[in-house]
């Protein structure tokens, strides 16, 4: 095994192992304390789940559900060990998290020797401030999740499924893991201000990078939300909007910290207070007045009414209630506290404003903004090459002449030499670009005579030609680039249209329609129930089907726009209008097969399965994923099966000989297996249930083509179009 690893990898693994051993030796005498911390975390979480957390999570889940939806909601255990194993698993994770800081602390000497621990002691107050700030941010993210996001999300998802006739019977494992994952994601996302500020302060990533790349950050937030939150539009917005606001706040905090660091010697808190004492005093007095008005002129009542309107049970108490002091004294205390908050924010703003006013102009780290005329000869030699690329010859000669007039011949010579180097480099890069373009065009012209269909018939392709396949694919994709907007728009229309149809009642309509065409005695509510084990199971199913429909909708356009490139490479022949014939034929086959499956095959298959289970006196609870995929396989799947023989006939008519289609069944099998593995539910049985009928249809198509072409002796394409 070690021979399969290079020297650098073996060295890195060895260093990691040595470090782990050294940490264990350094913490050996304190491992009991580490074990105690682990047990505290493990047992605390284990029993907290049993005594409090399950009920708390169920209350959060049901808090915004409608009454009838809440009555149907239940959390189920699928195996006898689900609950205790889940408690143990979460307890182990929490125990490890609690024990890790203790272990790192006691092994700090070993880490310090290897450079993994700060050599200079860090003041404890700084560590405490960072730790408290991080914990507060995590708690703030979790509070938002539990008070706002989770109640609305679960109420929406359960209500959507209930309207479609689906029972929200969540698996305790899936339900809990889903909540824990989202809680961690919100807590970690809330660390954004600390994360961005720390990176900017240490200049690991400059503040200007975070500022200039805000569009990329917004896209990343939506991608992050697509992974960690339900894929429906409503919860995506609830996820993304707070994070985008938090990113803007993080940028502002980072700007304050970076500006203060770059000009720390100019910080003058006392001067800022003296210069703006009137505004600061006015804010303090204003805070007192606002607090008094809030309690005395109906502000508290209005806010409590707002809380009641959104379904919250929380209320703001009257001034002094619960504190044992008079209302007037309580209002004064509250006003002074808010006044101090306003004063601190105002002082921070005025200090930062004065620093920003003194900030030097120009972009930090921009080599093209460097003023070369102010440098000496050594500075010219050390300047980055980017500073000379944008210079014109006249500008360079003017700088050199000015240096000679200032009696600095070495500087003048340095300017001329650096300018010549930049010019030579720019000319070399231009020549290389031109050679790449001409070489690419030559390769395309050479490949145009090398038909992919010929390779399809004449045997295996050499490994040296794999790069040719890659280049061909790249050439085809480049031909589609100018039409990418239309393709993407068509895909989005198909996907979003399908999603919204399901979303607005289509899922329930499909369920009702299929159940209505089954024998009545099999559709009794106590005998057949469709459940969702995962909170987002129904929505994820809709997303998968919508993506599939969007891809099918865009395929004819891809074929039409890619036809000229395919023809140039020798993949196809004829005019691109042939795509319309292909689209019409395949669509007719798909619709015909779909009608056959919808009217006869699907009801028969589902009725047989239900009747078989009912005969065994079983309570039937189908998962939404399995039930609706079964419908798709027995309706649209029949259409796809009907399309395969039609596709083989069209390929033969386009120039692919019968012999090639018969010999290449292995490649077709691998392609179908890959398709089934990606687009069907994730179990091997379903993958083969999809693959076997598709391969059987391929075999039927080959047999039909055998008779049509008389054993391959009379292909449907003209002899000139058949690839030999």
137 touches 193 (CB < 8 A): yes
Residue 264 maps to a domain: no
pLDDT digits (tens, 9 = 90+) for 319-352: 777 666 778 888 888 888 888 888 888 877 777 6
591 plus 635 within the same structural domain: yes
409 plus 497 within the same structural domain: no
440 plus 400 within the same structural domain: yes
Is it the case that residue 449 has pLDDT exceeding 50?
no
Domain count, the chain: 4
Residue 237 maps to a domain: no
pLDDT value for 167: 83
pLDDT value for 526: 47
Name the domain boundary from 357, 385, 419: 357
* Length of the chain in terms of residues written: 724
**pTM of the shown model:** 0.62
Q: Of 208-212, 526-530, 570-574, where does the model show the most confidence?
A: 208-212
303 plus 406 within the same structural domain: no
Per-residue pLDDT, averaged over 259-270, amounts to 61
pLDDT digits (tens, 9 = 90+) for 588-598: 888 888 888 88
Contacting residues for 362 by C-beta, under 8 A, at least 6 apart: 369
- 353's tokens: 């404003």
Residue 220 maps to a domain: no
41 plus 75 within the same structural domain: yes
65 plus 84 within the same structural domain: yes
Long-range contact set of residues 196-204: C-beta below 8 Å, sequence gap at least 24 = 196/247, 196/250, 196/251, 196/253, 196/254, 197/250, 197/253, 197/254, 197/257, 200/254, 200/257, 200/258, 201/254, 201/257, 201/258, 201/261
Residue 494 maps to a domain: yes
49 plus 87 within the same structural domain: yes
pLDDT digits (tens, 9 = 90+) for 488-515: 899 989 988 998 888 888 888 888 887 7
Residue 178 maps to a domain: no
475 plus 554 within the same structural domain: yes
Burial level of 8, CB count in 10 A (0-12/13-18/19+)? exposed
pLDDT value for 463: 40
Contacting residues for 686 by C-beta, under 8 A, at least 6 apart: 629, 676, 680
pLDDT value for 565: 79
476 plus 385 within the same structural domain: no
Alpha helices by DSSP H, listed for 190-276, are 192-202, 207-212, 214-228, 233-262, 269-275
Residue 571 maps to a domain: yes
Q: At what angle do helices 54-62 and 150-163 cross, to 10 degrees?
A: 60
Name the domain boundary from 325, 357, 389: 357
Comparing 492 with 614, which gets the higher pLDDT? Answer: 492
Identify the CA nearest to 647 among candidates 692, 609, 593, 698. 698
- 81's tokens: 């060990």
310: which DSSP letter?
Answer: T
697 touches 645 (CB < 8 A): yes
* Least confident residue range of 60-64, 227-231, 462-466, 674-678: 462-466
Comparing 24 with 98, which gets the higher pLDDT? Answer: 98
* Least confident residue range of 34-38, 370-374, 454-458, 585-589: 454-458
pLDDT digits (tens, 9 = 90+) for 131-148: 787 888 888 888 888 888
Are β-strands 74-76 and 169-171 bridged in parallel, bridged antiparallel, or unpaired? parallel
Phi, psi of 115, deg, nearest 5? 80, 15
Domain that holds residue 600: 455-721
Is it the case that residue 550 has pLDDT exceeding 60?
yes
Are β-strands 169-171 and 528-531 bridged in parallel, bridged antiparallel, or unpaired? unpaired
pLDDT value for 453: 39
Residue 235 maps to a domain: no
349 plus 472 within the same structural domain: no
- 539's tokens: 């929505």
Residue 583 maps to a domain: yes
- 2's tokens: 């070690």
* Least confident residue range of 61-75, 400-414, 500-514, 532-546: 400-414
5: which DSSP letter?
Answer: S
419 plus 472 within the same structural domain: no
Name the domain boundary from 302, 328, 357: 357
389 plus 462 within the same structural domain: no
pLDDT value for 2: 44
- 413's tokens: 């010579």
């Amino acid at each position: 095994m070690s021979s399969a690893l290079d020297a650098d990898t073996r060295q890195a693994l060895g260093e990691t192992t040595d470090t782990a051993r050294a940490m264990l030796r350094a913490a050996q005498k304190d491992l009991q304390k580490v074990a105690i911390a682990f047990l505290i975390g493990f047992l605390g979480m284990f029993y907290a789940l049993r005594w409090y957390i399950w009920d708390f999570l169920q209350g959060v889940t049901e808090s915004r559900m409608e009454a009838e939806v809440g009555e149907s909601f239940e959390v189920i255990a699928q195996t006898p060990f689900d609950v205790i194993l889940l408690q143990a698993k979460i307890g182990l994770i929490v125990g490890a998290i609690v024990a890790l800081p203790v272990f790192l602390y006691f092994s700090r000497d070993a880490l310090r020797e290897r450079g993994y621990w700060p050599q200079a002691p860090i003041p404890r107050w700084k560590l405490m401030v960072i730790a408290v700030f991080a914990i507060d941010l995590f708690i703030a993210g979790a509070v938002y999740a539990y008070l706002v996001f989770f109640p609305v999300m679960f109420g929406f998802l359960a209500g959507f499924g209930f309207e479609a006739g689906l029972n929200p019977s969540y698996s305790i494992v899936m339900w809990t893991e889903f909540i824990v994952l989202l809680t961690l994601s919100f807590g970690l996302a809330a660390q954004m201000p600390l994360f961005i500020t720390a990176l900017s302060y240490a200049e690991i990533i400059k503040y200007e990078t975070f500022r200039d790349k805000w569009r990329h950050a917004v896209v990343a937030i939506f991608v992050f939300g697509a992974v960690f939150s339900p894929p429906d539009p409503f919860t995506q917005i609830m996820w993304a909007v707070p994070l985008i606001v938090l990113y803007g706040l993080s940028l502002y905090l980072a700007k304050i910290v970076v500006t203060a660091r770059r000009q720390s010697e100019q910080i003058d808190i006392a001067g800022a207070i003296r210069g703006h004492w009137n505004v600061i005093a006015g804010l303090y007095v204003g805070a007192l007045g606002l607090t008094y008005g809030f309690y005395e002129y109906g502000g508290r009542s209005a806010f409590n009414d707002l809380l009641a309107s959104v379904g919250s049970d929380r209320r703001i108490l009257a001034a002094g209630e619960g504190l044992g002091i008079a209302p007037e004294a309580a209002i004064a205390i509250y006003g002074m506290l808010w006044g101090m908050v306003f004063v601190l924010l105002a002082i921070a703003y005025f200090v930062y404003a004065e620093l920003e006013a003194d900030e030097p102009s120009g972009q930090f780290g921009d080599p093209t903004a460097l003023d070369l005329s102010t440098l000496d000869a050594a500075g010219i030699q050390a300047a980055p090459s980017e500073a000379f690329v944008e210079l014109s010859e006249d500008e360079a000669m003017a700088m050199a002449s000015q240096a000679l007039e200032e009696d600095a011949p070495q500087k003048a010579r340095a300017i001329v030499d650096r300018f010549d180097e930049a010019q030579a480099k720019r000319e070399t890069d231009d020549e290389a670009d031109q050679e790449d373009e001409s070489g690419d065009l030559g390769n395309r012209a050479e490949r145009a005579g090398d038909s992919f269909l010929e390779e399809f018939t004449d045997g295996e392709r050499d490994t040296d030609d794999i790069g040719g396949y890659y280049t061909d694919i790249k050439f085809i994709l480049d031909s589609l680039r100018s039409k990418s907007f239309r393709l993407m728009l068509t895909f989005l229309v198909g996907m979003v249209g399908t999603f919204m149809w399901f979303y607005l009642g289509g899922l329930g309509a499909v369920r009702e329609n299929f159940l209505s065409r089954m024998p009545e005695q099999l559709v009794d509510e106590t005998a057949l129930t469709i459940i969702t084990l995962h909170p987002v199971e129904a929505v994820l199913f809709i997303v998968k089907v919508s993506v599939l429909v969007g891809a099918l909708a865009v395929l004819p356009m891809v074929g039409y726009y890619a036809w000229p490139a395919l023809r140039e490479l020798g993949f196809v022949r004829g005019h691109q209008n042939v795509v319309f014939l292909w689209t019409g034929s395949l669509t007719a086959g798909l619709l015909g097969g779909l009608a056959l499956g919808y009217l006869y095959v699907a009801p028969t298959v589902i009725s047989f399965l239900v009747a078989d289970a009912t005969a065994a006196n079983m309570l039937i609870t189908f998962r939404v994923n399995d039930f609706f995929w079964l419908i798709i396989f027995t309706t649209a799947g029949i259409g796809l099966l009907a399309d395969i023989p039609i596709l083989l006939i069209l390929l033969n008519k386009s120039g692919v000989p019968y012999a090639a289609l018969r010999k290449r069944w292995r490649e077709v099998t691998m392609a179908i297996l890959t398709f089934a593995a990606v687009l069907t539910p994730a179990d091997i049985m379903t993958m083969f249930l999809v693959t076997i009928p598709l391969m059987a249809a391929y075999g039927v198509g080959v047999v039909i083509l055998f008779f049509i072409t008389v054993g391959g002796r009379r292909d449907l394409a003209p002899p000139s179009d058949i690839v030999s």
